[in-house]
């Protein structure tokens, strides 16, 4: 099947998708394409079954100051594979042909389930849609780096802060300490 969506059409599809995923748990308690910190921690601890995909910019992935909007620190989830989300479209904003997408995502399309994240969940929603079309079993870490960086930060009240921090690479805490 050829994938022929314009970038604008894909954005519209993502908006509809995100709206449909407002509830993360269905009636039978299975997750509907959405992951939270507990699922990410499980995935990290089970690398034979899961892969974490970071679709942020190279600067964000490397923990370089790439803008502080919403984040509590810089870094990445330990062991995450980096493939920037924008690599899936050409210069005209058209989604790449399926054969090129399969090549682009070959490192993560290896039979394992995938959790994809970005800074806020928007760019990862794009990648989730693409990977779903390629037949992958993929979840979107909806809170993405904003939620993860808060959980790892000095200001965090997250109960497993030390565990989250231990699974964070290139970490720089930028959140001002609360009194």
Where is pLDDT greater, at 1 or 141?
141
pTM of the full structure: 0.81
How many Cβ atoms are within 10 Å of 114's Cβ, its own excluded?
A: 24
Predicted confidence (pLDDT) per residue in 92-128, tens digit = 999 999 999 999 999 999 999 999 999 999 999 999 9
Q: How far apart are CA 151 and CA 145, in angstroms?
A: 10
Q: How far apart are CA 164 and CA 148, in angstroms?
A: 7
The domain limits of the chain are: 24-171
**Cα radius of gyration (the chain):** 16
Q: How far apart are CA 124 and CA 117, in angstroms?
A: 5
Are 113 and 48 in contact, with CB atoms under 8 Å apart? no
Specify the CATH number for 24-171; select among 3.30.930.10, 3.20.20.370, 2.40.240.10, 3.40.250.10.
Answer: 3.40.250.10
DSSP annotation of 12 reads H
Kindly indicate the confidence band of residue 68, based on its pLDDT and cuts at 50, 70 and 90: confident
| Alpha-carbon 133 to chain mean position | 17
């Amino acid at each position: 099947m050829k994938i022929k969506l314009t970038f604008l059409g894909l954005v519209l599809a993502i908006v509809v998708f995100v709206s449909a995923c407002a509830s993360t748990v269905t009636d039978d308690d299975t997750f509907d394409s959405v992951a939270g910190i507990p699922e990410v921690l499980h995935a990290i601890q089970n690398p034979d079954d899961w892969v974490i995909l970071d679709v942020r910019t190279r600067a964000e992935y490397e923990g370089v100051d790439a803008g502080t909007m919403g984040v509590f620190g810089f870094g990445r989830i330990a062991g995450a594979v980096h493939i920037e989300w924008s690599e899936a479209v050409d210069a005209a904003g058209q989604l790449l042909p399926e054969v090129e997408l399969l090549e682009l995502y070959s490192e993560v399309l290896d039979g394992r389930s995938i959790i994809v994240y970005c800074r806020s969940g928007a760019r990862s929603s794009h990648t989730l849609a693409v990977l779903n079309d390629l037949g992958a079993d993929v979840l979107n870490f909806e809170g993405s780096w904003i939620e993860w960086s808060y959980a790892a930060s000095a200001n965090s009240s997250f109960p497993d802060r030390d565990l989250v921090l231990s699974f964070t690479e290139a970490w720089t805490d930028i959140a001002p300490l609360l009194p």
